[in-house]
């Protein structure tokens, strides 16, 4: 195989515009991936990280301005891995 996707290992597809080099697979893998993996895995993971990043930035801002610790869960509405014990019971 000339140009395998670094995630699913299938041949990277040639796009309508003739581009055959695939997509940057980070942060899932280092290398190039096919359009399907890009759409189904890489882009959602990037968005997920972006949301978590902006949520944790907001969390820090609230903490610095009010002294209140808001769990990320309350900001994103999604369960996230918390570091250390949660303060809310």
Report in angstroms how near the CB of residue 21 gets to Zn ion at its nearest. Answer: 13
CA of 21: how far to CAs of 2, 42, 72, 80, in Å? 11, 16, 37, 34
Size of residue set near Zn ion by CB under 5 A: 6
Report in angstroms how near the CB of residue 10 gets to Zn ion at its nearest. Answer: 6
Q: Does 8 bind Zn ion (CB under 5 A)?
A: yes
CB nearer to Zn ion: give 44 or 57.
Answer: 44
| CA–CA distance, 13 with 6 (Å, rounded to integer) | 13
Q: Does 75 bind Zn ion (CB under 5 A)?
A: no
Q: Which residue has the tokens 């019971």?
A: 89
Report in angstroms how near the CB of residue 14 gets to Zn ion at its nearest. Answer: 14
Q: Does 6 bind Zn ion (CB under 5 A)?
A: no
Q: Give the largest Cα separation in the chain, rounded.
A: 57
Q: Could you tell me if 23 and 35 are in contact, meaning their C-beta atoms sit under 8 angstroms apart?
A: yes
Residues of this chain that bind Zn ion (CB under 5 A): 5, 7-8, 33-34, 37
């Amino acid at each position: 195989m000339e140009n395998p996707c670094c995630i699913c290992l299938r041949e990277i597809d040639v796009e309508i515009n003739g581009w055959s080099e695939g997509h940057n697979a980070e942060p899932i893998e280092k290398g190039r991936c096919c359009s399907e993996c890009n759409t189904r895995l890489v882009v959602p993971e990037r968005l997920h990280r972006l949301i978590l990043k902006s949520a944790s930035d907001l969390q820090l801002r609230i903490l610095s301005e009010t002294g209140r610790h808001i769990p990320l869960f309350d900001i994103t509405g999604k369960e996230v891995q918390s570091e250390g014990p949660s303060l809310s019971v």
